[in-house]
Chain A
Amino acid sequence: MRRRLLLLAALLLANLAIAAVGMLRADDVGTGKAFTAKVGLVFDLGGRGDKSFNDSAYRGLERALRELPIHGEYLEPGDGADRESAIRLLAARGFDLVIGVGIMFTDDVLLVARDYPDVLFACVDMIVLPDQKLPPNVIALKFREEEGSYLVGAAAGLATQSKTVGFIGGMDMPLIRKFEAGYRAGVKAVCPECKILSAYAGVTPEAFKDPVKGKELALAQFGRGADVLYHASGSTGLGAFEAARLAPPGTRRLVIGVDSDQTHEAPGHVLSSMVKRVDVAVFDTLKAVSEQPHRRDIAGVRVFGLAQDGVDYVADARNANLIDAKMRERIEALRRDIVAGRIQVPSQVAPAEVAP
């Protein structure tokens, strides 16, 4: 019995040691130069290399490290439980700014921010209720995804030949419904008669990393006549690109990427990408902190829309054969209308729209 307990204790210790080493293997990406602020990023599920959201945040950090006098580190926690401890770890080590990359950090950031009032915290995509008062050291980085989605929706509406387009969401939640709402409005703005198919991969965060499901959802929509799909589903959407690659000769299957420029995922089949400039939001925040580490004036909700270059769509030489000059002109006109406030893009799907 005693031996067994000892063995158990030893195993537990070994486990803790491994966990600790895993956590502390924070990748120090600083260059050893003099710095005015220490900043840390904690990545979301998926981590660096997700070809999407996290990679975009990382680009912001990279740029900041090149251009600003800061010292930066990042962590990639494995499971949900590690999120809070990762943030806490960086805060406890005296970082000036800790950024949680992703909506899942909302509660963790709020919790840890109260324990470390001297540290500034930011959360990308943070959920903030209308009447909620944020602690004075918390920055909520929000995006007008519906505005970017509106523009790619317009691109889809102009590009479709079958007058049927599709939408694939990851987890069914308000954040992703925002993408759908903007997309729907954009499609209808240029193609009122277009039919819009919509599907979600699931109702848990795992719905963002199931490419097998994503491929089947995409094949089902292509099978029902859609020739352009927009996915807002993380790694799940990689399956949609695979589905597009399976296009029988002579048929058109296009996918619109999300978060990052995903043109390389299925060359020739990517109409555009709705890029969410997480890198811009991260860089801007890092810049403000590097200029004045203990400032509180940038705390609160900061919104990045079309006007702030926080969201955009991809149109360049690589997809010029799919989005021609005339289409582009039309989309740019819509962009100007949104920025000027002449078009209000909805951020919720009206119930009546969902019915066929």
Chain B
Amino acid sequence: MDDLFAVVEQVIRIAMPYALAAAGGVVCERSGVVNLALEGLLIAGAFSAVVFAHLAPSVGPYGAIAFGIAAGMALASVHAFMTVNLRADHITSGIALNLLADGLSRFGLHAIFHSASNSARVQTFAEGTTLWTSPLTWLSLLAIVGVAWWFSKTVAGIRITAAGDHPEAAESLGIRVARVRWQAVLVSGALAGLAGVWLAFEQHQFTAGMTGGRGFVAVSAVIFGGWRILPAALAAVAFGAGEAAQIQIQAAGTALPTQLVQTLPYLLTLTALVLVAKRARAPGALGATDR
């Protein structure tokens, strides 16, 4: 029973950053803006939270969380400016921002921590804080549920959907599409920034490249969830479960070759893709730059 409980905790730890970033990704893409910058937003959140906790330890963990979220939003605003105002290609802008965030974090490590790869260890919540007593857990859950509610039950959410599906029609109804999209991109920045904070708080430090492609896993969760928040969060949990299974199988000491066990999460991803790809429908004007 204890073992099972430990595995559940592990799935939550692995899946939470995926789910947060994926929820943000859904909001962003439903407004019509492709967001491949999630990886960069994770880096921004993780790195900034650690820098804040290092430079202003007296402010406490909530300051670091807020700063990480703000950093995610700051980087996201560049994406919004590029795609909404300048009408640049969404994918190009996203990839460029990923490179920028990675480069800036390494530059920052050099400048602040005098290391090419690791920050100093920083304080987060008090020693002995567990997954269940950590305010970050509840804050993250609240963020996902809250955004899901905001997106599906409020006028703001409906405007986002309209802007993403048929911007011309939305405009004719008086919806300011550019403004709505800015809003959506900023929400994704905040959520992905929080996901980055999660990674940093788990390790109490920043390591160059520590996001390890987790932003891209979130992007695929967005697609598996059919551009809906709660299904995307569920997809994130499924990916987390796949990874946890891979880790547990190794720990259990089977004779299976590592390489085979390592493919498990990817296999799950592929299977899910085959199963849902037919039904999933992308927002009508996703990625369009002509207006």
Contact = CB atoms under 8 A, between A and B. Distances in A.
B35 to A, nearest CB: 22
A209 B117 contact: yes
B116 A43 contact: yes
Contacts of B115: 47-51
Interface stretch (A210-218, A276-284, A308-316): A210-218
A224 B251 contact: yes
Interface in B91-111: 106, 109
B210 interface: yes
B253 A219 contact: no
B87 to A, nearest CB: 15
A157 to B, nearest CB: 17
A202 B247 CA distance: 11
Contacts of B20: none
Interface stretch (A88-96, A234-242, A336-344): A234-242
Contact of B117 (A197, A210, A235, A356): A235
A46 B213 CA distance: 17
Contacts of A46: 116-117, 208
A211 B210 CA distance: 7
A239 B116 contact: no
B6 A235 contact: no
Contacts of B6: 219-220, 223
B212 interface: yes
A14 interface: no
B116 A50 contact: yes
Nearest to A76: B116
Contacts of A190: none
Interface string A63-94: 00000000000001010000000000000000
Q: Is the interface of A mostly helix, strand, loop or mixed?
A: mixed
B253 to A, nearest CB: 4
A203 B250 contact: no
Nearest to A265: B121
Interface string B96-136: 00000000001001000111111000000001000000000
Contacts of B86: none
B254 interface: yes
A26 to B, nearest CB: 14
Given A235-B118, A242-B202, A217 B210 contact: no
A198 B117 contact: no
10 contacts: A46-B208, A49-B114, A50-B116, A172-B259, A198-B253, A221-B251, A224-B251, A242-B202, A354-B255, A356-B252
B258 A209 contact: no
B117 A220 contact: no
B106 A78 contact: yes
A356 B253 contact: yes
B117 A50 contact: yes
B48 to A, nearest CB: 17
B12 to A, nearest CB: 11
B116 to A, nearest CB: 3
B75 interface: no
Contacts of A216: 10, 13-14, 243-244, 247
Q: Tell which of A43, A206, A220 has the most Cβ of chain B within 10 Å.
A: A220
B244 A356 contact: no
B68 to A, nearest CB: 16
Given A212-B199, A215-B202, A223-B3, A47 B116 contact: yes
Contacts of B262: 172, 200, 202-203
A112 interface: no
B203 interface: yes
A238 B251 contact: no
A49 B109 contact: yes
A242 B207 contact: no
Interface in A235-256: 235, 238-239, 242, 245
Interface string B184-226: 0000000000000001001111011110111000000000000
B152 interface: no
A355 interface: yes
A216 B14 CA distance: 8
Contacts of A172: 258-259, 262
A198 to B, nearest CB: 7
A125 B11 CA distance: 36
Nearest to B109: A49
Nearest to B251: A220
Given A197-B253, A203-B258, A220-B251, A212 B203 contact: yes
A199 interface: yes
B248 interface: yes
A198 B254 CA distance: 9
Contacts of B214: 212
B159 to A, nearest CB: 35
B250 A200 contact: yes
Contact of B210 (A195, A203, A210): A210
Nearest to B211: A212
Given A43-B116, A51-B118, A355 B250 contact: no
